[in-house]
């Protein structure tokens, strides 16, 4: 059996970590997308306040199976 995948880009954010930002994006997308199979981090950004990292933004490409 072969599969066809579609991919989209999502951006998650977190004040805690890069990993949490990825999880936020995927968990939110799972509320309306089904069949998600893989992700790839394609961009990482952050916000600096008072010389420290205050917030992370991570863009991920997510692939899912078409029904």
Question: Exposed/middle/buried for 22, CB within 10 Å: 0-12, 13-18, 19+?
Answer: buried
- pTM, two decimals, is 0.86
- Shortest CA distance to 6 belongs to which of 49, 29, 35, 28? 35
Q: Is 31 helix (H, G, I), strand (E, B) or coil?
A: coil
Multiple choice CATH, 5-65, 3.40.630.30, 3.30.110.30, 3.30.565.10, 3.30.1660.10: 3.30.1660.10
Domain range list for the chain: 5-65
* % pLDDT > 90, the chain: 85
Q: What is the pLDDT of residues 14-33, one digit of tens each?
A: 999 999 999 999 999 999 99
């Amino acid at each position: 059996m072969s599969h066809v995948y579609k991919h989209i880009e999502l951006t998650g954010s977190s004040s805690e970590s890069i990993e949490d930002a990825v999880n936020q994006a995927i968990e939110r997308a799972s509320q309306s997308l089904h069949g998600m199979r893989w992700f790839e981090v394609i961009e990482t950004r952050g916000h600096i306040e008072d010389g420290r990292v205050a917030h992370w933004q991570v863009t991920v490409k997510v692939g899912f199976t078409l029904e």
